[in-house]
Structure 1
Amino acid sequence: MIQVVLFDVNETLGDLSSLRGRLEDVGAPGHLLPTWFAGTLRDGMGLTAAGAYADFAEVAECGLRSLLTGLDGWAGDARRAAAHVMSGFGDLDVHPDVPDAVRALHSAGLRPATLTNGSAAVTEGLLDRAGVRDLFEALLDVSVPRAWKPAPAAYRHAVDRLGVAPDRILLVAVHPWDVDGARRAGLRAAWLNRAALPYPSMFEQPHHTITDLRDLPDLLTAGRPREPG
């Protein structure tokens, strides 16, 4: 029986779309966002694969400066522009389905927590603004194991901190690579398929697939014995 619901943060809980406006503020196209974010993940994971580490903010800012400098016709101050875009992480909102889902999970006796390649401090601000911070048992990031997900050490850190067996933890993520990493580390996993995309066949399959986070509480509590009344 699942005891802990462990959420990825960027794109799973947090909606990054407002960063498009920040990019446009500095004269870059908003559609650069997916390329920048994917490059940040690539470089952070690459460092982990090489046995090194840098935190999300450093990797993201360095990558963005490179992208801006390489834009045709762009002649701004890359360092200042990147700082402006990066500050937008402090203003992100959650996706609309998050608050109700988290409240329902907590009410059902499940223990919400987070594990992000980003910053636990940024996660705290995100959940505070959504009014659900107090429902989360732990806000974890990869700075302690110094290994980005999907490295096994990241998931082991969460298991150790939460104090439950891996198969009692359900990771929820929009990223198939995160689902795969969690499964290989012995956790259960749910894929939040917000974009209605096919799941990559080379990855370990999720135990559950949902398109709206509000479907998760009923899915996890179906068939559970009721508390005596």
Structure 2
Amino acid sequence: MTITTCVFDAYGTLFDVNAAAAAAAAEPAHAHIADVWPAIARDWRAKQLEYSWLRAVAGRHCDFWQVTQDGLDWALASNGVTGVATRRRLLDLYWELAAYPEAPQVLADLRAAGMKTAILSNGSPKMLEAAVTSAGLAPLLDAVLSVEAVGVFKPAARVYDLVGEHFPGAEQSVLFVSSNGWDAAGAAGYGFQTAWVNRAGAPMDRLYATPHHTVADLTAIPGLV
């Protein structure tokens, strides 16, 4: 199968979801989270994803910004952190998450090889626009696709349908890349070729499908196509 289109998850794959908590903790005004920011970042991400799945199963969709706020509120409470200013700062920083260092060059290499590149994300359109612009990735992407077009979060098949709708005929020539094992598995079950960016060296999720490739970071992606 010849790959013509590389589609990336956004948060945790192209953008470092820990960057907001790390940046806030380095600021004097929020030094009180210097020792707990890794736990805040971990719990924030875990609840953000958990709430997206629960809303999908319950048929209670909201946009990703709402579950991002709800996840943060749980993470702050779990770690004994209070204060409106710190909450606000963490949320503000989430709109300008840093891309992983290798991301721009990987996207540029794929484009130079003639590949179409895109994002397919749970993020809302405004969130994704802000992150892509802040990281300077806009010129390297052919499309930024949000689940808001179908009103349900990944790994619902309707989300993966968006790729074929935007790139007609590309369904059989897609490499889908995600740092979330469940997302890479969901896309594999849908029918895409998939690569799981397993930065943490986590075990494989036990699901109905498995990713076709496992890589340590994004630098390996051009070699797969």
1:16 alignment partner in structure 2: 17
Q: TM-score, normalised by structure 2?
A: 0.87
Q: Provide the identity percentage.
A: 29
The residue aligned with 2:47 is 39
Q: Give the Cα–Cα distance (whole angstroms) in 2 for the partners of residues 158 and 57 of structure 1.
A: 22
1:50 and 2:58 are equivalent in the alignment: yes
Give the partner amino acid of 1:11: G
| Distance (whole Å) between structure 1 residues aligned to residue 93 and residue 113 of structure 2 | 34
Q: Number of residue pairs matched?
A: 217
Please list every run of 5 or more consecutive structure 2 residues that lacks an aligned counterpart in the other structure: none
Gaps of 5+ in 1: 221-229
CA distance in 2, matches of 1:130, 1:85: 17
- For 2:165, the equivalent position in structure 1 comes to 160
Any idea what the Cα deviations from partners look like across 1:188-210, whole Å, max 9, x if unmatched? 21111212233224351212222
* Shift in CA distance, 115/20, structure 1 to aligned 2, threshold 3 Å: same
**Residue type of the alignment partner of 1:76:** G
Q: Please state if 1:76 is matched with 2:77.
A: no
Q: Helix, strand or coil for the counterpart of 1:191?
A: strand
Computing the radius of gyration from Cα coordinates, the structure with the larger value is: 1
Q: Are residues 1:102 and 2:107 paired?
A: yes
Aligned pair partner of 1:204 in 191, 205, 209: 209
CA distance in 2, matches of 1:16, 1:102: 19
CA distance in 2, matches of 1:22, 1:64: 15
Paired position in structure 1 for 2:156: 151
2:211 aligned partner, one-letter code: P
Letter in structure 1 aligned against 2:9:
D
The structure-2 alpha-carbon separation of the partners of 1:26 and 1:122, relative to structure 1 and needing over 3 Å to count, comes to: farther
* Counterparts of 1:130 and 1:67, CA distance in 2: 25
CA shift, 1:6, in A, is 0.5
Instruction: Write out aligned runs for 1:46-195 (5 A).
Output: 46-72=54-80, 74-77=81-84, 81-195=86-200
Counterpart of 2:41 in 1: which secondary structure? helix
Equivalent residue, structure 1, for 2:218: 213
CA RMSD of aligned residues (A): 2.0
CA spacing shift, 1:68–1:126, aligned 2, 3 Å? closer
